[in-house]
Chains A and B, each alone.
Chain A
């Protein structure tokens, strides 16, 4: 920190260095880089104070720039000519555009084709066939260690199934899929999503198993299956006055692990 005026005295006597002004200008230009390096490197309370000061500076700078950019002439805001010209009687009306309607119908058709409905569990983990069925050996030599004569075309379903009340097994010699009675269920615990209470309702049938149509026809109940339950005890009535006795529900647990079928009603 120079004390005294010897610098000014020297300047008065000898003038400036030949490159003084250029060096000064370049040093000032480098201040920007130095400041940014400082801002990056500084730590602690010093850093916080600097950041605060710098932020205030930036805000002020933005305001002055915006003020300069404001023009004094007021132009009309909407100058562009838009597409989709409509006559005057349609201008204030909010009609759905044809494209939107078309895309909606196409989406609806796609949904119907794909069978994707608005259900609580849209995606479920796919179950492999090896997990679903266990190979049952049959035939005279079924217990041999290495036997080529053992037949292995029978399968036993390892998941919970539902068979209807009038179910009769096929002759055991010919039945391919064995559905063990221990894994057959007739009732499900169905929760109403809005009322939040659970009822023990009888299953009427299996509507769809997401793993495939074969499982649907077999009556296998896994997580995500849509089942039809008897809701007559809930006392629901249609707007026309008819009593509703069957509704769809989606299974929400893995019944083979829990020993019961939990489902949520699709309203």
Chain B
């Protein structure tokens, strides 16, 4: 552990006592005397040395939740912080790569004959699928930006689509309560439909690839009040999780092997996956639970794929890589869960430890439709029908900033892979890209003729896909 040798002057102008802590609060080394002309680049070097990083990683520094962008002296002067106390500086690792914000619509692809209800990129970023009200699922070629396959077979609107984390399967759920699985390479249905739900499907989530590779099981939630776990190789329902009294609005498969379901009966239930038993019930909301988000959700969705775009040959290798990524993302703390509800608030839970919420996030003036953790888990964004998107601290749940700009209810949000940009799609037919560092609008993306129902940012950060009521699928690039 190196200690910086600096001039130790008694006068207050030249040095200040600082303590570097990580986001969870644990200090990194002992307090240091640092000269006041030290800024973020020098602090970065210090952190890299103290952590013994082989390659230089970028960090962002926060003093009492405000980002430090200037030298310490100007910060101290502006905020009149006393130099007698130890100054706590929180460092946060940033992604090595930087995603460029999308600013132009590169393609408007027609194809669907009814509104596009959901779009999703595959975890490796090579395929794009969209489900629509014309009962088809369409696969699009990203290289030529044209339609590739049309998968028909559903009897009613296709409400949800989900890629398996290893990219081998695509499943879609419809308003008729049936789930179909497709082969992304040929566009054909791979096997018989999964029947069992009596009403429409509200959400589908896959088992993480670090728990089982190749991917076999996924869970689906439906309006009829139960969630079912299906096995894609056995092609049947293995477990039925019933217990909710009203519709289940969202379901997520957590990285530690638990399934979280949020429902219109204002509760969230935590299930274990070997037998389908209820572990915990999280109560607290006053109205429907609309959306759930896990702090490790992005890693679970992308599985073993990351920005290095490495292809894996065997499932075992994929499982190991995914496990490594998951552990790195999770760190020491347990998984955090956030639920957004119709009662205009959100709760931050740590379901593994207790059934009481850790924090209640208030501030929205209309119902919260979609909540999403950033890929690095540091931030949490919430989209609400009050036309605003709010940014919260992903660890403590403290409110950070509110993004206003939309003129209609904000429907869905999506993060860029480096957690620096946030994308939101709204009823007013525009998409907006927000910068997390400056808390301001980065780019406005108009172009849709009608409401935007679904947005997705590809995991490699190159493209954004959006679909809505005007039946067009738009691809946006830099």
A residues adjacent to B (C-beta < 8 A): 76, 79, 81, 83-89, 91-92
Contact = CB atoms under 8 A, between A and B. Distances in A.
Nearest to B154: A81
A3 B202 CA distance: 81
Interface string B117-155: 110000000000000111100000000000000000001
A177 to B, nearest CB: 53
Given A92-B247, A92-B264, A85 B115 contact: yes
A79 B155 contact: yes
B55 to A, nearest CB: 42
Interface in B182-201: 200-201
Given A79-B155, A92-B247, A92-B264, A85 B203 contact: no
Given A81-B157, A92-B264, A87 B135 contact: no
B156 A87 contact: no
A88 B202 CA distance: 6
Given A86-B117, A87-B453, A88-B201, A81 B135 contact: yes
Contacts of B118: 87
A230 to B, nearest CB: 42
B264 A85 contact: no
B16 to A, nearest CB: 49
27 contacts: A76-B176, A79-B155, A81-B155, A81-B156, A81-B157, A83-B114, A85-B117, A85-B134, A85-B157, A86-B115, A87-B411, A87-B453, A87-B454, A88-B159, A88-B200, A88-B201, A88-B202, A88-B203, A88-B249, A89-B290, A89-B369, A89-B370, A89-B411, A91-B175, A91-B200, A92-B223, A92-B247
A79 B114 CA distance: 17
B391 interface: no
A86 B369 CA distance: 14
Interface string B86-118: 000000000000000000000000000011011
Given A91-B200, A92-B247, A92-B264, A85 B155 contact: no
A93 to B, nearest CB: 9
Interface residues on B, range: 20 to 34
Contacts of B135: 81
B249 A89 contact: yes
B223 to A, nearest CB: 8
Chain A interface SS verdict (over half): loop
Nearest to B135: A81
A136 to B, nearest CB: 62
B133 A85 contact: yes
A83 B157 CA distance: 10
A83 B290 CA distance: 24
Contacts of A86: 115, 117, 133, 453
Interface string B288-312: 0011000000000000000000000
A80 B248 CA distance: 24
Contacts of B201: 88
A199 B176 CA distance: 65
B160 interface: yes
A84 B114 CA distance: 8
A30 B200 CA distance: 57
A52 B332 CA distance: 86
Contact of A85 (B132, B223, B290): B132
Contacts of A76: 176
Nearest to B198: A76
Contacts of B133: 81, 83-86
A180 to B, nearest CB: 59
Interface in B162-214: 175-176, 200-203
Contacts of B203: 88
Max chain B CB contacts within 10 Å: which of A79, A83, A92? A92
B134 to A, nearest CB: 8
Contacts of A92: 223, 247, 264
Contacts of B370: 89
Nearest to A85: B133
Interface in B409-457: 411, 453-454
A56 to B, nearest CB: 42
A89 B118 CA distance: 11
Contacts of A87: 117-118, 159, 411, 453-454
Contact of B114 (A85, A88, A89, A91): A85
Contacts of B200: 88, 91
A205 to B, nearest CB: 41
A88 B411 CA distance: 11
Contacts of A79: 155
A20 B115 CA distance: 71
A38 to B, nearest CB: 54
Top 6 A-B pairs, shortest CB-CB distance: A85-B133, A88-B159, A87-B117, A85-B115, A85-B157, A88-B202
A260 B247 CA distance: 66
A92 B291 CA distance: 14
B268 to A, nearest CB: 16
A81 to B, nearest CB: 5
Nearest to B132: A85
A81 B454 CA distance: 21
Nearest to B288: A92
B156 to A, nearest CB: 5
A96 to B, nearest CB: 12
A23 to B, nearest CB: 57
A91 B117 CA distance: 11
A84 B200 CA distance: 16
A88 B160 contact: yes
